[in-house]
Amino acid sequence: MKKKILDFLRVAFPFLCVIVLWRLAVPFWNPGGILAIIPIFFCSFVMRVPWFAPFAIIFCFLIDYRFDTLFYWTAAYCLFYAINGFQNFIDLGQLDKNALDIFMIFFGVSTLILAMVGFSVSGMMRAIWLVAWTSALYVPITALIKRVGNDR
């Protein structure tokens, strides 16, 4: 019985991680629950958790809801999902640091476009802070997800 519960928690951990990071929304440290994009990206493209893509789309929509953006993060995720599906040069699961550089490109470009829409110096500084903070937390969060799901 104990093993079944541990196996369930191990499988459910990526999903629970997204929910917790989205719910822990704080204006400066986690605006709109944007840190949930880390496990969304990692479990969709690098570790490839089964049935995670529909869940990721729902939570990208919920991030849009909190950010007051109309399908922006959902569209960015779906666009990157399509681009990743059509390419076969790069296996994101084999890159070092859990594909941190690809995540920085995805998140940095998306945040830059969002910051340029309503350009202001303070908005640009917040965008730079957000990219730096999210990129710094990417490796510890993904390492935790890999460690918990290691015994699959």
The pLDDT tens digits of the residues spanning 94-133 come to 888 899 999 999 999 999 999 999 899 999 999 999 999 9
Q: What is the pTM of this model?
A: 0.94
As to burial, measured by CB atoms within 10 angstroms (0-12 exposed, 13-18 middle, 19+ buried), residue 75 is middle
The string of pLDDT tens digits covering residues 126-152 is 999 999 999 999 999 999 999 998 754
